[in-house]
Amino acid sequence: MPAFTDNVVVITGASEGIGRALALALAPQRPKLVVSARSRERLASLAEECRLLGAEAIAVATDVTDERQCQELIGKTVDAYGRIDTLIANAGATMWTRLDELEQPGVLEQVMAVNYFGAAYCTRAALPFLKQTRGRIVAVASVAGLTGVPERTGYSASKHAMVGFFDSLRIELADTGVTVTVIAPDFVVSQIHRRAMGGDGQPLGETPMQESKIMTAEQCARLIVDAMEKRRRLLITSLRGRLGRWFKLFAPGLIDRIASRAIRQRH
């Protein structure tokens, strides 16, 4: 039997990008999905697609920056399915500007609110139920949470916060049977880049990435599902990212240059 058959899986940030790809990748295993994001229309469409692929699926519109809504998301999941087996904290926001060109410092708070506090709020609300099922927590962070990335200061900070939070939580949960998997994707084709906030606080409107040269959300989702099944501690989706962990220890100047070049080349 596939690992996620009848598994109750909550996915935040599910309306597009990696979250949507994860829902569609899991659906053929016939899980019980709860897809969550702010867009009701996109969620409804996604839930229907998942049902056609074999999953049970409900859509719950949620703004993860609101702790009350995070609690309601978990409550509606338990009301619908009676339990929670897997929480995928995937909702994300990003920025793309040098700090000395940032006109609206509130951008830093917005990115932190979605990426870090949103993940923390949902996890805290789900934790009692995950303990009951010896479930899984999957935190979609970024390689930017493992090293510095120019023009992404606020984003990198929020992902570093995520990694620290979930690494700490893993230790707290060591005797509960609940596992924590941190995902560190490299650049992935996603709408998040089009919605990245510039120095004026407004969305860029078009991606700054060379999308033909970076991983698709579907490719990323397949790697994540495999890591979830194996309850891996950490998944870094690119060779560059894996090597970067070691370069940071032994040749920190080199990893700075690699990160700078990646941003200049946009892949």
Annotation says 155 is catalytic: yes
Q: Which of these is catalytic: 81, 116, 121, 155?
A: 155
What type of residue is 92?
Answer: G
DSSP of 31-80: -EEEEEES-HHHHHHHHHHHHHTT-EEEEEE--TTSHHHHHHHHHHHHHH
DSSP of 112-155: HIIIIIHHHHHHHHHHHHHHHHT-EEEEE--GGGTS--TT-HHH
Rounded distance, CA 62 to CA 11, Å?
A: 11
User: Which residue's structure tokens are 């509130």?
Assistant: 106
Instruction: Identify the three-state secondary structure at position 214.
Output: coil
- Is 126 in contact with 175 (CB distance < 8 Å)? no
Active-site residues: which are they? Answer: 155
